[in-house]
Amino acid sequence: MKIGEARRRAGALVESLRGQVAVEGAYLIGSTATASSDLELPATSDLDVMVVVSDDIPPPKPGKVDIGEAVIEVSFVARSSLLPPERAITDYHLAHGLRHDSILLEGDGWLRRLHEQVAATFTDPRFVTARCENAHRKIKTLLGGLDPATPWHQRVSSWLFGTGVMTHVILVAALRNPTVRVRYVAARSVLHDHGLEDVYGWLLRSLGCETISPEQANTHLALLAQTFDQAAKVATTPFPFSSDITTAGRRLAIDGSQELIDRGDHREAEFWMVATMARCVAILTADGTPRQRADAEGHLNHLLGDLGITGQADLRRRARDVLDYLPTLMETADTIVQTATK
């Protein structure tokens, strides 16, 4: 499907939400927001839509919606999270989406005015640094969520995403899209451009995937595909990520990971494979049989074992290593900001 057609359908989808939620506007985010309408939307990518609602606490997001040849990812954001403009300008996820003129649905003009303000200040070094600090705080928050009283898969997710947000610090500093699934590939490009390959090596080591082989990655993907299909089949309990573990989500999680492995980015594929496996464990813990849960936990631990994590002590040690490295990471970000904003 052409990106232009996917955008048209996304607009129609947002219109259909009007009777269900208090829609105040909508805009595209992610890499497809600025892509040419004539390009094909890759089968392993989705079209990301941010829908602004009047509720201060947005309802659960619809997530991935399969429209046949493409997938639309719908998220909600409260209008109060975007205003005054400084809130959006200093939020590293929100600012990048509002930088571009990709408005799908507008009300009385306030969303376009906000876009214009974000666009005008986006490259101001003060605000770029503020967004890097916003990502820095998120790392500390996530890595603080390793309470042994919480389920193992939740602790793994907190560690994984806390570690992965380091790539977002790099991408934000370079004025790039803080992408989710392929964040390591994107960060590698930035660090290579700045001659900072040693930093990228550290990012891979902090995740534990620096020495992962293509064979190991393919084994991990086979285990994930098996677990994914079981979780998608039995899932009934709602989770924020529920739409990711569906037929629509499979193209991105499974086929997308295979695509990365096949092109030589097998180490970078590990991030989203572990994230997806942990989510499958959450679903099977809630809705699966005891055998399915045990198998899924075993598969997750297989992946983690190859990353050098066998228990809580390893998780805490890795978290401490990241927290100790943050001052160096922020110095690296400052160097990139100075170059990117010249």
Q: What is the DSSP string of 136-180?
A: HHHHHHHHT---TTS-HHHHHHHHHHHHHHHHHHHHHHTT----S
In 22-43, which positions are buried (b, 16+ CB within 10 angstroms) versus exposed (e)? Answer: ebbbbbbbbbbbebeeeeebee
In angstroms, rounded to a whole number, what is the distance separating the alpha carbons of residues 37 and 39?
6
Domains and CATH numbers, the chain: 3-121 (3.30.460.10), 127-320 (no CATH)
pTM for this structure?
0.95
Give the single-character DSSP code of 40: B
- pLDDT value, residue 66: 87
* pLDDT score, position 44: 85
pLDDT value of residue 290: 98
Of 38, 41, 60, which Cα lies nearest the Cα of 51? 60
pLDDT in tens, 165-202: 999 999 999 999 999 999 999 999 999 999 999 999 99
Q: Residue 49 corresponds to which tokens in the numbers above?
A: 């839509």
Which stretches in the chain have pLDDT values below 50? none
Q: How far, CA to CA in Å, does 34 sit from each of 59, 100, 243, 340?
A: 27, 7, 25, 19
pLDDT of residue 33: 81
Structure confidence by residue, pLDDT tens digits, 8-33: 999 999 999 988 999 999 999 988 88
C-beta of residue 55 within 8 angstroms of C-beta of residue 22: yes
The pLDDT tens digits for 82-94 are 999 999 999 999 9
Per-residue model confidence (pLDDT) at position 109: 94
pLDDT of residue 135: 98
SS3 122: coil
pLDDT the model gives residue 309: 98
Q: Which residues pair with 75 in a beta bridge?
A: 50
| Strand, helix or coil for residue 43 | coil
Residue 207: the pLDDT is: 98
> Is the preceding omega at residue 84 within 30 degrees of 0, hence cis?
yes
Q: How far is CA 240 from the centre of its chain?
A: 13
